[in-house]
Chains A and B, each alone.
Chain A
Amino acid sequence: MNVGDLLDAQVLGPDGTTLGVVVDVRFALEVVDEPDDDARERDREDPETPLSAHLGRDAVGGARLVGLLVSPHSGGSFLGYERTELRSPWPIAQLVRRRHRGTFLAGWSDVAEVRTDGSPVIVRLVAGFERGSPAL
């Protein structure tokens, strides 16, 4: 199974009702080596250093699948507005929030079944699934 299979998949509740489509897939990245504040400060003081040589960079380990972001109204990902506290530019933020109202995070442990044999791919949630906050 790939992330591409899950994106845009149709999400059904335990009773078969349509809940929306998968607009994004959330992972928890393990941070194995975190830079201290001194290293970040040195990077700021030396703007000529290329980004790849910066010291204030974390090293990541495994990426664990946390859950699926399900939007009941719109299939497109909308610039991350629905997941952050960003409020500007105001008209775009309002439009995106309206199209993604009701978006929730379905935990991966609440996913009962993923059927990838048909089109669209179907994701069915378990009975008593929780609607988590989509905020990052």
Chain B
Amino acid sequence: MTRERMVDARLHLLSRQVLDADGEPVRAVDDLELVGPGGQPARAGAEVRVGAILVGPVLFVRLFGGAVPVSRQPRIAWEDVGHVGTAIELTVPSDRLDADWVEHWLRDHVVGRVPGGRHDPEADG
């Protein structure tokens, strides 16, 4: 029989740092998406699970109000979560995640064009 551990969203999950498989910080948990069985929309009273960690551009929403459309929120599938402790650790490297697409786009299109921008300081040892 598998054991279960009780966690509370605000106490243990929200705003926690998300680390990828290499221990690199990815994002912080902004919200959790709830889904029903088979990926159906969550219904009151029926079985509901966490489907994904949402890591959205919440700063603008907090400053100016409103809400980011769900389709526009970058997400990390809950299946990729390996350990929940002081941080939430994933079993996949961050390059495989869509959540960092803004950073990857800036790296390829802006930072990479700056002279010296493709230099990897960690490769120098």
Q: Are B11 and A63 in contact (CB under 8 A)?
A: no
- Count of chain A residues with Cβ under 8 Å from any Cβ of B? 43
Report the minimum CB–CB distance from A52 to chain B (whole Å): 4
- B interface residue numbers (CB < 8 A to A): 2-11, 13-14, 19, 23, 30-34, 41-42, 44-45, 47-50, 54, 70, 78, 81-86, 89
* Cβ 8 A contact of A52, one of B9, B19, B44: B19
Q: Are A63 and B45 in contact (CB under 8 A)?
A: no
Report the minimum CB–CB distance from B19 to chain A (whole Å): 7
Report the minimum CB–CB distance from A66 to chain B (whole Å): 7
Query: Whose C-beta in chain A lies nearest to the C-beta of B23?
Result: A52
Q: Are A3 and B44 in contact (CB under 8 A)?
A: no
* Cβ 8 A contact of B78, one of A2, A32, A63: A63
Query: Whose C-beta in chain A lies nearest to the C-beta of B35?
Result: A1
Q: Are B85 and A57 in contact (CB under 8 A)?
A: yes
Q: What chain B residues lie within 8 Å of A111 (beta carbons)?
A: 44-45
The 6 closest A-B pairs by CB, nearest first: A52-B23, A63-B50, A65-B48, A28-B4, A3-B32, A25-B9
User: Which A residues between 23 and 58 are near B, CB-CB below 8 angstroms?
Assistant: 23-32, 34, 50-52, 57-58
Query: Whose C-beta in chain B lies nearest to the C-beta of A111?
Result: B44
Report the minimum CB–CB distance from B122 to chain A (whole Å): 16
Given known A3-B34, A28-B4, A60-B81, contact A114–B44 (CB-CB < 8 A): yes
- Given A27-B50, A32-B2, A63-B49, 14 more A-B residue pairs with CB atoms under 8 Å apart are A4-B30, A23-B10, A24-B8, A31-B2, A31-B3, A31-B4, A34-B3, A58-B5, A59-B82, A62-B49, A64-B49, A65-B42, A77-B10, A80-B11
- Roughly how many angstroms separate A26 CA and B11 CA in the complex, as a whole number? 9
A to B CB contacts below 8 Å, 29 in the list: A1-B41, A1-B48, A2-B33, A2-B70, A3-B13, A4-B30, A7-B10, A24-B11, A26-B6, A26-B9, A27-B9, A27-B13, A28-B6, A29-B6, A29-B7, A57-B85, A59-B82, A60-B5, A60-B83, A62-B50, A64-B4, A64-B49, A66-B6, A80-B8, A80-B11, A108-B48, A109-B45, A112-B45, A126-B45
